Structure 1
């Protein structure tokens, strides 16, 4: 007699048995409905609450991610996900494995193996991937490509003639906070190998009054 065995969410089907629609989809939800928040009506709309703990776990999962936008000139053929991955593996040989997740509208999300790799890639800034151009920027929560209208740029900022008593990360970040959101220091600044100037990567909003 035909039978099914469920093990670690995988479905094993005996010969001659056809998969059900739910089995064919795979990764079916095995969470009891009693553990899920109950939707309710508010202002004529259905409201669904997301558990805070799961949301925070999701944010933690994305801490090694970056967002980027692939910009094409008029007439250029769009890059496929495979083409983009191959091009980046040539530039970021040391950062493998790298996962590129297409988001639509020319945007991708990159998942790196570690925070160190993510920061190294972010520090490289924008890349020319002939015939396309790729702009990297820090990961943004609640990112929706369809409504994304970026006015930000990311630049390395130099601070000259900074006395050594100010050469602490928090102090340098506080100074560059007047320009935008400081991301991290370069290695020479961190190690104080070069004290002619401090160098900080800053995310700058071009529409901000301070920029």
Structure 2
């Protein structure tokens, strides 16, 4: 504990290795506004496991976007399908060996080395597997 907050010791060598490994990285933001020619407003909500929910303010815009079926995003594809009732990303065919996910927001790239992540996981509880 440091003051009123929990603290986890991160190995300095791993931190430095993490800094070095980030020297050839860059950040990006996905912007779809210019790609989609629509009239109304829309929003996106991450559902987990790579799924996103897109909501449109009118049916015409929804039909316009769905007519494209997929969108090429270099490197990758944005596949689109109509919302099915009771959709749950956890029930989709997805191969994973992880039994429990812990999401920690705001970690800098330089501390994402495996030994640092193991130290963080062990500070939280029992690590089952690091993916």
When the two structures are superposed, what TM-score results if normalisation uses the length of structure 2?
0.46
Q: Which has the higher contact order (CA 8 A, sep 6+)?
A: 2
Bigger Rg, which one: 1
When the two structures are superposed, what TM-score results if normalisation uses the length of structure 1?
0.30
